[in-house]
């Protein structure tokens, strides 16, 4: 596996008498680690832009409180909670209090996790809807998850030819631990599963419609007619709930799907047809706009 470093930033700050190494480490092959702190009084960072990508995300909340919006569902997370976000799930966050928001989060490609014949280590990330993306502090603290995050933070901040191999090993250990905790959560601790504070049924129906019709041309008119809302109101409701316009959401979901199909060996022109584009040039330009590469380079 190539080890091409895209970004490294390190500096220290103090939170509640604890010295924290701010670090951001990114590898071009699909792994990044971020140890950072945000404040609610920073307007430019209070509400983060909605994001969707082909990487899995794990966020460990070390301090503060945050409101997360994931595919239209809104969750409250507090110190000690773990948030898990699967590929292609739109998400944004809002810092809920004036307290510092300290997070350690990882983005990684599924390619970093080995495929085992007996165990699907990525299973917890396909089950996020069952446990509502949030693993509560009560279970996290009883696991090795905090200790593994500490090791990852220290490893990411030290330059070494063995840094990336060590980070991959630690990531795999973290995923195994998350598997065990999710099993406990689903089998023995159902009362700990957090319910989202708000699920708008129209947003749920909209996302379901889009996911079922990615192979067809999709218009706002089609969706509005299907779910029974005026299209202007649907546009407003969707942007308010998800953080991006409905049209942008449709195109990004199509492009994320296109990327997967291209990496499975399908030709760009076939992928264009599979996703309902009558004009290959439209598909080509949209793909380049989203990923800043050509379809043939995916």
User: Is 106 strand, coil or helix?
Assistant: strand
- Give exposure, 175-191, as e/b (b: 16+ Cβ within 10 Å): bebbbebbeebeeeeee
pLDDT, position 198:
63
* pLDDT higher at 68 or 31: 31
Share of the chain above pLDDT 70, in %: 83
> What confidence category does residue 255 fall into, taking pLDDT thresholds of 50, 70 and 90?
confident
Q: Where are the domains of the chain?
A: 5-192, 200-297
Average pLDDT over the chain, rounded to whole?
82
Q: pTM score > 0.75 for this model? A: no
Alpha helices in 16-131 (DSSP H): 43-46, 123-126, 128-131
CB distance 241 to 203 below 8 Å: yes
CATH class of 5-192: mainly beta
> pLDDT tens-digit profile of 6-51?
444 444 444 443 444 456 788 877 899 998 887 655 444 444 556 7
- Lowest model confidence (mean pLDDT) among 89-93, 108-112, 129-133, 193-197: 193-197
* pLDDT higher at 80 or 91: 80
Structure tokens at 37: 């702190």
> What confidence category does residue 280 fall into, taking pLDDT thresholds of 50, 70 and 90?
very high
Cα distances (Å, whole numbers) of residue 125 to 132, 176, 272: 11, 12, 28
User: Is 21 strand, coil or helix?
Assistant: strand
- Is the domain 200-297 a CATH 1.10.10.60 member? yes
Given a cut of 90, whether residue 113 has pLDDT beyond it is no
- Lowest model confidence (mean pLDDT) among 71-80, 134-143, 186-195, 249-258: 186-195
Backbone phi, psi, residue 59, to 5°: -125, 125
């Amino acid at each position: 596996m190539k080890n091409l470093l895209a970004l490294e930033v390190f500096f220290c700050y103090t939170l509640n008498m604890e010295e924290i190494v701010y670090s951001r480490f990114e590898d071009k092959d699909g792994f990044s680690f971020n140890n950072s702190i945000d404040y609610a009084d920073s307007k430019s960072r209070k509400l983060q832009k909605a994001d969707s990508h082909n990487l899995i995300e794990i966020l460990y909340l070390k301090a503060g409180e945050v409101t997360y919006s994931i595919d239209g569902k809104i969750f409250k997370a507090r110190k000690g909670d773990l948030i898990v976000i699967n590929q292609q799930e739109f998400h944004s966050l809002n810092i809920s209090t004036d307290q510092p928001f300290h997070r350690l989060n990882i983005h990684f490609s599924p390619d970093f996790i080995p495929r085992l014949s007996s165990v699907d280590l990525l299973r917890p990330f396909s089950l996020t809807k069952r446990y509502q993306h949030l693993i509560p502090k009560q279970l996290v603290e009883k696991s090795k998850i905090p200790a593994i995050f500490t090791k990852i933070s220290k490893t990411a901040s030290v330059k070494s030819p063995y840094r990336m191999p060590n980070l991959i090993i630690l990531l795999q250990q973290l995923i195994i631990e998350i598997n065990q905790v999710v099993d406990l959560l689903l089998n023995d601790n159902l009362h700990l599963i957090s319910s989202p504070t708000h699920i708008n049924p129209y947003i749920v129906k909209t996302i379901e419609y889009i996911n079922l019709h990615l192979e067809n041309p999709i218009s706002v008119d089609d969706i509005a007619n299907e779910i029974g809302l005026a299209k202007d109101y649907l546009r407003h409701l969707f942007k308010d709930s998800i953080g991006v316009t409905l049209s942008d959401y449709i195109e990004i979901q199509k492009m994320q799907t296109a990327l997967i199909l291209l990496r499975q060996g399908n030709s760009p022109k076939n992928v264009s047809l599979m996703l309902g584009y009558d004009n290959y040039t439209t598909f080509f330009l949209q793909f380049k706009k989203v990923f800043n590469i050509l379809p043939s380079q995916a």
